[in-house]
């Protein structure tokens, strides 16, 4: 008897519709599918490879959902964008999608004498019928919710259901990734999946330059094809100009099985730490390369960050196309290089940064990299080199200005731009401290046999400079064969200096 009552209630709910206005047309949805109606946000997280009707991703209290532009989807003439645009959040089998419209209409009950459903020939469309209101003078088009969720095979993934499952998961170990800018989006790769991040002035032309591959670099004897990642994600046409790698662009080198590939990104953003249960899942309407995206990291910047699976970025077909079918030869060359490298001592990875000149610190000593906060706590009697205290997700971090600590003397000269400043966050004896640097440059890896120790007199400039806390200086060769000095910072020494009362 109870089941019969529930079924009647469901059927009654499905007879109630809410209407909304879009352009000069009126549409209706069964309220049984509508979770809520909210104001449209100022911006959306861009989705790579998205169809034209997908505005982007919207995070609503822990649920990351795609937002559909119905004007684009239904080929309607767009109207002037209203400041009062709304989003109707609809849900089917645990998957949430937002529909963008201009304003709300009314709520009404369906009457058979007003309703006309379309025939079988129109079942592929998202408009399933019409209501003829006011004796036919007013036409309200009925949206077929099930057809909306079948656009480009929307996955029936219950993980998007308001993120409730996350509360029951074990928190696990905090993980780290490196975020970077690609077109209008921010993406990230786990640090463990990145071999190196390089600044390259020029790529070598190669027969491998097909599709989105724009050339190669020589990485210690290994030929690495470079892919224009923004072009791969359909954000722009492939850039093969001589200046393609200039400016802030970097090459993120990753390994796919035994082969190395480089992704050209627009700029490196930060090192981000997150707990696995903080990843928000979302459904992509466009299934091409959908498995590339692991989840969404929120709360670290204005844009949500899309975490990638590096093994899914390139398909086997794309790998074969880039290597022009000579993958066996290519792997043999790489294998020979790896054999040589394995004879060397353990490889070390460093983050390079700039404070008037280039320095480096071991990557495992950096907890994360963040943008310079605009506001900091200001307790009394701070030392001159302490800019303030940052509340970083519940942990207090003492923020130290490297320029003041080391009396560098540079202000806004020699290319120094305050907007590029970053904070390297370290942990020492249970204390967190952050070092403000002019910019973060790249990630480099080398073995002991690759470096040549420099005489201390070359880099020892006295107690006042950052070089006073250098643990060693090495001469390394970049991908172009150019030799340069790399000054490696001793974090313990920096921490000790920053806590000395004489530095006040």
Number of Cβ atoms within 10 Å of the Cβ of 8: 10
Distance CA 254, CA 268 (A): 15
Q: Which range is least confidently modeled, 110-119, 229-238, 245-254? A: 110-119
Q: Which residues contact 150 (CB under 8 A, 6 or more apart)?
A: none
Q: Tokens 């960050």 sit at which residue?
A: 305
Stretch 130-151: mean pLDDT, rounded? Answer: 86
DSSP state of 263: E
Instruction: Identify the residue whose tokens are 């109870």.
Output: 2
* Number of residues that make up the chain: 504
278: Cβ contacts below 8 Å, ≥ 6 apart: 166, 297, 298
Which residues partner with 176 through β-bridges? Answer: 273
Strand spans (E) along 158-249: 175-182, 185-190, 194-198, 213-219, 222-228
**Structure-token pair, residue 473:** 């200086």
Cβ atoms of 212 and 319 within 8 Å: the answer is no
* Fold observed for domain 170-342: OB fold (Dihydrolipoamide Acetyltransferase, E2P) (2.40.50)
Name the residue with tokens 């077909």.
317
* Helix locations, 207-266, DSSP H: 229-232
pLDDT band at 1 (very low <50, low <70, confident <90, very high): very low
Give the predicted TM-score (pTM) of the model.
Answer: 0.68
Mean pLDDT of 338-366: 74
The per-residue pLDDT for 181 is 93
Are the folds of 170-342 and 348-503 the same?
Answer: yes
Report pLDDT for 92: 82
**What is the pLDDT confidence band of residue 38, given thresholds at 50, 70 and 90?**
confident
Supply the pLDDT for residue 237. Answer: 92
* Strand partners for 386: 400
Would you kindly state where each structural domain of the chain is located, as residue ranges?
A: 13-160, 170-342, 348-503
Residue 308 has pLDDT above 90, yes or no: yes
The whole-number pLDDT of residue 208 equals: 52
Rounded mean pLDDT, 103-129: 77
pLDDT surpasses 50 at 332: no
Residue 392 pLDDT more than 80? yes
What sign does the CA torsion over 311, 317, 323, 326 have?
positive
Q: Which of 150-164, 438-452, 478-492 has the lowest mean pLDDT?
A: 150-164
Architecture of domain 348-503 in CATH? Answer: Beta Barrel (2.40)
pLDDT of residue 289 exceeding 60: yes
Q: Quote the tokens at residue 130.
A: 């019409």
pLDDT score of 373 more than 50: yes
> pLDDT tens, 256-282?
877 889 999 999 888 888 888 888 877
Residues of the chain with pLDDT > 70, as a percent, come to 76
Which of 411, 418, 402 is CA-nearest to residue 359?
Answer: 402
Q: Which residue has the higher pLDDT, 393 or 141?
A: 141
Decide yes or no: CATH 3.30.70.250 for domain 13-160: no
Q: How many C-beta neighbours within 10 Å does residue 322 have?
A: 24
- 119: pLDDT confidence band, cut at 50, 70 and 90? low
pLDDT in tens, 71-82: 888 888 766 656
- Whole-number pLDDT of residue 402: 86
pLDDT digits (tens, 9 = 90+) for 154-197: 434 434 444 444 434 455 677 888 899 999 999 999 988 888 88
pLDDT at position 337, please? 45
More confident of the two residues 77 and 114: 114
Chain centre distance of CA 366: 20
Query: Can you give the pLDDT at residue 189?
Result: 93
Identify the residue with better confidence: 56 or 3.
56
Mean pLDDT of the 193-212 span: 79
Work out the percent of the chain whose per-residue pLDDT is above 90. Answer: 12
Spatial distance between the Cα atoms of 235 and 232, rounded to a whole number of angstroms: 8
Choose between 358 and 210: higher pLDDT.
358
Res 435: pLDDT? 93
Tokens of 439: 């910019």
Q: Is 203 left (phi over 0), alpha (psi -120 to 50) or beta?
A: beta
């Amino acid at each position: 008897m109870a089941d019969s009552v529930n079924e009647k209630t469901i059927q009654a709910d499905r007879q109630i519709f809410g209407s909304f206005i879009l352009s000069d047309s009126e549409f209706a949805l069964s309220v049984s599918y509508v979770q809520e109606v909210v104001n449209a946000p100022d911006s959306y997280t861009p989705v790579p490879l998205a169809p034209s009707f997908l505005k982007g991703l919207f995070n609503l209290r822990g649920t990351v959902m795609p937002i559909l532009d119905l004007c684009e989807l239904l080929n309607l003439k767009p109207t002037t964008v209203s400041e009062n645009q709304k989003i109707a959040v609809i849900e089917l089998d645990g998957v949430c999608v937002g529909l963008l419209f201009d304003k709300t209409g009314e709520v009404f009950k369906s009457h058979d004498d007003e309703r006309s459903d379309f025939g079988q020939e129109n079942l592929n469309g998202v408009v399933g019928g019409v209501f003829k209101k006011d004796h036919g003078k007013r036409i309200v088009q009925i949206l077929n919710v099930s057809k909306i969720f079948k656009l480009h095979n929307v996955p029936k993934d219950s993980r998007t259901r308001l993120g409730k499952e996350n509360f029951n998961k074990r928190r696990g170990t905090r993980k780290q990734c490196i975020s970077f800018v690609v077109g209008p989006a921010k993406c990230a790769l786990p640090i463990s999946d990145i071999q190196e991040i390089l600044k390259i002035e020029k790529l070598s032309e190669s027969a491998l330059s097909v599709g989105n591959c724009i050339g190669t670099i020589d990485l210690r004897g290994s030929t690495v094809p470079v892919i224009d990642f923004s072009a791969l994600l359909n954000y722009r046409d492939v850039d093969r100009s001589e200046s393609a790698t200039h400016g802030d662009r970097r090459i993120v080198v990753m390994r796919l099985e035994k082969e190395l590939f480089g992704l050209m990104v627009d700029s490196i953003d930060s090192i981000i730490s997150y707990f696995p249960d903080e990843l928000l899942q979302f459904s992509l309407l466009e299934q091409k390369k959908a498995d590339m995206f692991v989840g969404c990291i929120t709360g670290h910047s204005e844009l949500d960050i899309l975490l990638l699976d590096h093994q899914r970025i390139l398909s086997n077909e794309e790998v074969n196309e880039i290597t022009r079918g000579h993958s066996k030869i290519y792997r043999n060359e790489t294998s020979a290089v790896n054999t040589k490298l394995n004879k060397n001592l353990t490889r070390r990875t460093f983050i390079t940064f700039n404070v008037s000149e280039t320095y480096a610190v071991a990557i495992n000593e950096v907890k994360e990299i963040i943008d310079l906060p605009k506001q900091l706590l200001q307790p009394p009697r701070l030392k001159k080199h302490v800019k303030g205290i940052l509340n970083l997700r519940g942990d207090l971090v003492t923020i130290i200005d490297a320029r003041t600590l080391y009396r560098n003397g540079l202000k806004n000269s020699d290319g120094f731009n305050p907007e590029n400043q970053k904070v390297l966050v370290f942990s020492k004896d249970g204390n967190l401290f952050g070092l403000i640097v002019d910019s973060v440059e790249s990630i480099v890896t080398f073995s002991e046999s690759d470096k040549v120790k420099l005489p201390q007199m070359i880099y020892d400039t006295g107690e006042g400079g950052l070089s006073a806390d250098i643990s060693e200086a090495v001469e390394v060769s970049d991908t172009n064969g150019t030799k340069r000095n790399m000054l490696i910072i001793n974090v313990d020494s920096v921490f000790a200096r920053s806590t000395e009362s004489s530095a006040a």
